[in-house]
Structure 1
Amino acid sequence: MRHLIVLAASVVVTVALAGCELAPKESYQNGYRGTGMDTVMVKASAAADDVPAPPYDPPGTDGAPAGGIYENLQVLGGISDEQFNYTMAAITAWVSPAEGCNYCHNPENMASDEKYTKVVARQMLRMTRDINGSWADHVGQTGVTCWTCHRGEAVPSEHWTLPADSTRGSIARNKHGQNDPVSNSAYSSLPNAAVARYLLGGDEPQVARVVSKGRFPSPANTTSVMEAEQTYAMMMHITQSLGVNCTYCHNAQSFQSWSTSNPPRKTAWYGLNMVRAINHNYIAPLTDVLPDNRKGEMGDPFKANCNTCHRGQNKPLGGYPMAKDYPALWMSAVATPPVTTAQAADEAPSDEAP
Structure 2
Amino acid sequence: MNRGISIATGVAAFLGLAAVAVIFSQTERPPMETVQRGYRGTSMLEIYNPRFVADERAANKVPVSLPRLPDVGGKAGTVYKNVQVLKDESVGNFTRLMASITTWVAPVQGCAYCHNVQNMADDTLYTKRVARRMIQMVQHINGDWKSHVAQTGVTCYTCHRGNPVPSYIWYNNPGPVQAGGFAQAPAGKNHPAAIANDSSLPFDPLTPFLEHAENIRVQSTVALPGTDNSSIKQTDWTYSLMIHFSQSLGVNCTYCHSTRSFGDWSQSTPQRMTAWYGIRMVRDLNTAYLDPLHSVFPPARLGALGDSPKVNCMTCHQGVYKPLFGVSMIKDFPELTVTH
TM-score (norm 1): 0.84
Query: Unpaired runs of 5+ in structure 2?
Result: 1-8
The C-alpha deviation readout for 1:253-301, integer Å capped at 9, x for no partner, is 1000111111111111111111111101100000111011111111111
* Aligned pairs for 1:31-50 within 5 A: 31-41=38-48, 43=53, 45-46=56-57, 50=61
Using the TM superposition, name which of 257-266 and 184-193 deviates more. Answer: 184-193
Which structure shows the higher helix fraction? 2
| CA 1:214–1:223: 2 relative to 1, 3 Å | farther
| Aligned-pair CA distance for 1:85 | 0.6
Residues 287, 300 of structure 1: 8 Å contact kept:
yes
For residues 239 and 48 of structure 1, the distance between their equivalents in structure 2, rounded to whole angstroms, comes to: 18
| Aligned-pair CA distance for 1:48 | 9.7
Using the TM superposition, name which of 101-110 and 182-191 deviates more. Answer: 182-191
Partner of 2:240: 233
Partner of 1:183: 194
What letter corresponds to residue 198 of structure 2 in structure 1?
Y
| Aligned-pair CA distance for 1:53 | 1.3
| Aligned-pair CA distance for 1:47 | 6.6
- Asked if 1:86 corresponds to 2:86, the answer is no
Partner of 2:164: 154
Partner of 2:3: none
Question: Over the residues paired in the alignment, what is the CA RMSD in angstroms?
Answer: 2.6
What letter corresponds to residue 34 of structure 2 in structure 1?
S
Residues 36, 253 of structure 1: 8 Å contact kept:
no
| Aligned-pair CA distance for 1:310 | 0.8
The C-alpha deviation readout for 1:69-98, integer Å capped at 9, x for no partner, is 111111111222111111111011111111
For residues 207 and 173 of structure 1, the distance between their equivalents in structure 2, rounded to whole angstroms, comes to: 24
| Aligned-pair CA distance for 1:189 | 1.6
What letter corresponds to residue 302 of structure 1 in structure 2?
P
Partner of 1:111: 121
| CA 1:285–1:217: 2 relative to 1, 3 Å | farther
| Aligned-pair CA distance for 1:29 | 1.8
| Number of residue pairs aligned between Structure 1 and Structure 2 | 325
Q: Secondary structure at the match of 1:124?
A: helix
- Asked if 1:276 corresponds to 2:283, the answer is yes
| Aligned-pair CA distance for 1:226 | 1.5
| CA 1:120–1:25: 2 relative to 1, 3 Å | farther
* Aligned pairs for 1:66-105 within 5 A: 66-105=76-115
| Aligned-pair CA distance for 1:121 | 0.3
| CA 1:32–1:216: 2 relative to 1, 3 Å | closer
Residues 40, 248 of structure 1: 8 Å contact kept:
no
Partner of 1:285: 292
* Aligned pairs for 1:256-335 within 5 A: 256-332=263-339, 334=340
The match for 2:145 among 135, 145, 162 is 135
The C-alpha deviation readout for 1:303-346, integer Å capped at 9, x for no partner, is 100111111101111111122211111112x4xxxxxxxxxxxx
The C-alpha deviation readout for 1:211-255, integer Å capped at 9, x for no partner, is 13678987x333111111111000000001100100011101100
For residues 215 and 254 of structure 1, the distance between their equivalents in structure 2, rounded to whole angstroms, comes to: 12
For residues 269 and 260 of structure 1, the distance between their equivalents in structure 2, rounded to whole angstroms, comes to: 15
State the percentage of identical aligned residues: 44
